[in-house]
Each structure stands twice: as structure tokens, then as C-alpha cells.
A = this chain, B = another copy of it.
Amino acid sequence: MKFLHTADWHIGRKLNGFYLLEEQRDALEKLMDVAEEEQVDAIVIAGDVFDRAVPPVEAVQLFNQILKRMNREKQFPVLMISGNHDSATRLATGSSWYKLSDLHLHTNIAQSLTPVVIGDTQFFLLPYFEPFEVRHYFQDETIRTVDEAMTRLVDAMAAVFEPDMQHVLVSHFFAAGSERSDSETKVEVGGLNAIPVDKLTLFDYVALGHLHSRTALHHPSVKYSGSLLKYSLSERNQTKGVWLVTLSEAGLETRFREITPLRDVVLLEGSFDQLTDAAFYQHIDRDDYIAVSLTDKAVIPNVMQHLRDIYPRIIGLERTRGNERARRLRTQQDITRLSPLALMSDYFKEVTGEPVSAAQKRWLKQTVQGIQREE
């Protein structure tokens, strides 16, 4: 059994106002090329195929086209679940017919307990779930946490393991000990909704979706594929792609194949003069999604417009904090104790890295007094 493991396509997602459909189409076509080159026996998609419950019509169209090509034209068996971003009910449309050509899409608990057999492998397709659904399914009021729910589900799956077969779990959740990116929906608080990985070693491989970094979890047989593309600036240094998973008598073998995006997500840091100098930007792929961190302290009129003229896909602009040491975490109490003047001086120093000058202090004082008089 050799399969491709992908997840978190988030079709229809925007990055700071830009629709990424062109990049998504490109990456999905490259994914299909990998599947063909590697001659995989199946494609596993571990949830969040769409970015939201009601995706824009262009996103639906792209998804339908890719799925058709994958399964109806290229004849790959597909194993798929809904993630927390998908509407399980809406995504389920067509699923009673999908399975007629070995496209298995599971969107509820009950389905997850009947394995799909492809070759010598049992695949358990467990969609994103909430503990109450498991509590309700098993009619067991003692199931309160996601951890308890998972224990119960894994027990039920293990009960139908065929001993001569390989066992793969496909699911979509936050595994305890994983690292996050900025672009995942943070539904978990304080680790309460994290699932311990030791529950999952019963399976020969666990194909996860949810976290956007393929290295979010360091485990030989429990892996996130990571997202299809970089969906936030914080993901800019991540490598995106798919896992190729081989299960044989020799054991488990996993190999990552990178998918190069049509347009990258990058951060440029420098002064306004540097970044707007042709000698600099001629070496930059200005077609990329570019966030800019300016080292300047002075006010630059129409700065965004000037930058956009050079970098059409600008996704953010911030001032570089010259002196990080000046930043302090203040409690609410600290802040309420400071005078407006001290607070402003502090903020100025934090942002610019320099203290307020005597002239600035004078002007600030007058302004604050002016406001207080009006009150």
C-alpha cells in the first residue's frame, strides 16, 4: 500500500484580501502530478477541503473539477473526511454515489467505524467531531472530553481490525504536543481539546489534518501533511507538500514531496528607500504575496500606495521594532497606574526604539492637557 497524504486545502480562502484560487488550482494540479509519478494506490485527504461552510461558487467549481479529475478521470481511489472548516452536511452531497467509483467521503461518526478496504489496508475515516456527537452516538454520558471520545472511538475501531491487514486512521484534530501556525482556527483552549498521541499507535499510520505545518508533530507514524499553501505570513518559512506513505512487510516508510507554489509568501525588511530602489527589487519576485516590514521611523506619505505600485500583491505593512528590549508585557494594573503622558512616552519608545525628545514631550503635554480641558 502506497498512498499520498494531503489535507487543509482550504479552497476559497483569502490571504489578506486576495483570493488564492489560481494558486490552489496550480498546487492541486501539481499534487495530481505527484500522485501519477509516484503511482500511488490511493489519495488521502484529511479534512478542510473548503475554507468555510458556504464557499464561493468558484471554490465549489474548482473542488468539483479536481475531484472529478482525480477519481473519475485518473481513477485514483480517494479517502476523504470533513474538517472543522467544512460543512459536513453540504460536503456530503454526492457521497452516496462517490463510493461507486471508490471515492470514500465520511462526514459522521457512524461511518468512521466501518473501515474502507483498499488492497491490504483498512482505512478508518474519522471526520472532525465534537465530544457530544460521540457521547450521543454511544449513548454514554460519561464521555465528556475529546480525549475520552477518542479513546472510545479507537476501541471500537480496534475491535474490527483485520489482523492480516494494515490499519490507517484518517482524522482531523489537534494532537497534544503539536505546534501551531497563525492561520489555524484556535478552537482548543489550554490543551483540553488535544488528543494524546499514544492513543494512536495502534494504527500503522495516522494521516492528520488541522495544523498547517507538516512538522507540527514529531512522530514516526502520526503526521500532519500540512496545508496545501502558505495561508499566513507565519507560515512563510514552512515547506508545503504531501507525504508519500508506504506500508509493507518492511514496515512504514514516509517521504515528503514538496509542492512549489505558483506564488510564494514572503517578508521583506528594509527602509522605504531600499525597498523602492529598482536595484533592490529587480532581484525580488514581485509577483509573490509580500509583507513589508519598514525600518524607517519617519512618517512616509502614501506609503502603502507607493509600495503597492512596486509590489502589487502586498499583504501587510508594519514598522520594524528597532529595540525589542523596550517592549515589556504590562498587566492591566500597570497601565491604569501610569499617567497618559508616561503611557504615550512609553509607547513611542516601544515603537521607535528612541525616547521622546524635549520638543515632542512639550507638544504631547499640551495636547493631553487640551483634551483634559475639553472633558
Distance in Å: Cβ of A90 to nearest Cβ of chain B = 5
Question: Does A297 make an interface contact (CB < 8 A)?
Answer: no
Question: Does A57 make an interface contact (CB < 8 A)?
Answer: yes
Distance in Å: Cβ of A5 to nearest Cβ of chain B = 23
Main secondary structure of the interface of A (DSSP, over half): helix
- The CA of A61 and the CA of B68, in the complex, are separated in Å by 22
Question: Which residues from B are CB-within-8-Å of A90?
Answer: 57, 60
- The CA of A54 and the CA of B95, in the complex, are separated in Å by 19
A94 contact from B53, B54, B61, B94, Cβ within 8 A: B94
- The CA of A63 and the CA of B90, in the complex, are separated in Å by 11
Residues of A52-98 at the interface with B, using a CB-CB cut-off of 8 Å, are 53-54, 57, 60-61, 63-64, 68, 72, 87, 89-90, 92-98
| Residues B54 and A93 in contact, CB atoms below 8 Å apart | no
Question: Does A299 make an interface contact (CB < 8 A)?
Answer: no
- The CA of A87 and the CA of B98, in the complex, are separated in Å by 21
Give 1 or 0 for each of A91-127: 1 = CB within 8 Å of chain B CB. 0111111101101000000000000000000000000
Q: Can you list 22 A-B contacts with CB-CB less than 8 angstroms, sorted by A residue number?
A: A53-B57, A57-B87, A57-B89, A60-B89, A60-B90, A60-B93, A63-B93, A64-B92, A64-B93, A64-B96, A68-B96, A72-B96, A93-B94, A94-B94, A94-B95, A94-B97, A97-B97, A97-B98, A97-B101, A97-B103, A100-B100, A100-B101
Question: Which residues from B are CB-within-8-Å of A92?
Answer: 64
Q: Which 5 A-B pairs have the closest CB atoms?
A: A94-B94, A97-B97, A100-B100, A68-B96, A72-B96
- The CA of A89 and the CA of B93, in the complex, are separated in Å by 13
Question: Which residues from B are CB-within-8-Å of A94?
Answer: 93-95, 97-98
Distance in Å: Cβ of A58 to nearest Cβ of chain B = 8
Give 1 or 0 for each of A16-49: 1 = CB within 8 Å of chain B CB. 0000000000000000000000000000000000
Give 1 or 0 for each of A215-249: 1 = CB within 8 Å of chain B CB. 00000000000000000000000000000000000
Determine which residue in A60, A72, A96, A100 has the highest number of CB atoms from chain B within 10 A of its CB, and name it. A96
Distance in Å: Cβ of A138 to nearest Cβ of chain B = 23
- The CA of A100 and the CA of B95, in the complex, are separated in Å by 12
- The CA of A96 and the CA of B94, in the complex, are separated in Å by 9
Give 1 or 0 for each of A123-144: 1 = CB within 8 Å of chain B CB. 0000000000000000000000
- The CA of A89 and the CA of B55, in the complex, are separated in Å by 12
- A103 closest partner in B (C-beta): B97
- The CA of A95 and the CA of B72, in the complex, are separated in Å by 11
Question: Which residues from B are CB-within-8-Å of A89?
Answer: 57, 60-61, 64
Distance in Å: Cβ of A127 to nearest Cβ of chain B = 16
- The CA of A98 and the CA of B97, in the complex, are separated in Å by 6
Distance in Å: Cβ of A77 to nearest Cβ of chain B = 13
Residues of A253-293 at the interface with B, using a CB-CB cut-off of 8 Å, are none
- A94 closest partner in B (C-beta): B94
Distance in Å: Cβ of A203 to nearest Cβ of chain B = 29
Distance in Å: Cβ of A84 to nearest Cβ of chain B = 15
Residues of A156-185 at the interface with B, using a CB-CB cut-off of 8 Å, are none
Given contacts A57-B90, A97-B97, A97-B98, 12 further A-B contacts (CB under 8 A): A57-B89, A60-B89, A60-B90, A63-B93, A64-B89, A64-B92, A72-B96, A72-B97, A93-B93, A93-B94, A97-B103, A100-B100
Residues of A336-362 at the interface with B, using a CB-CB cut-off of 8 Å, are none
Question: Which residues from B are CB-within-8-Å of A64?
Answer: 89, 92-93, 96
- The CA of A54 and the CA of B60, in the complex, are separated in Å by 12
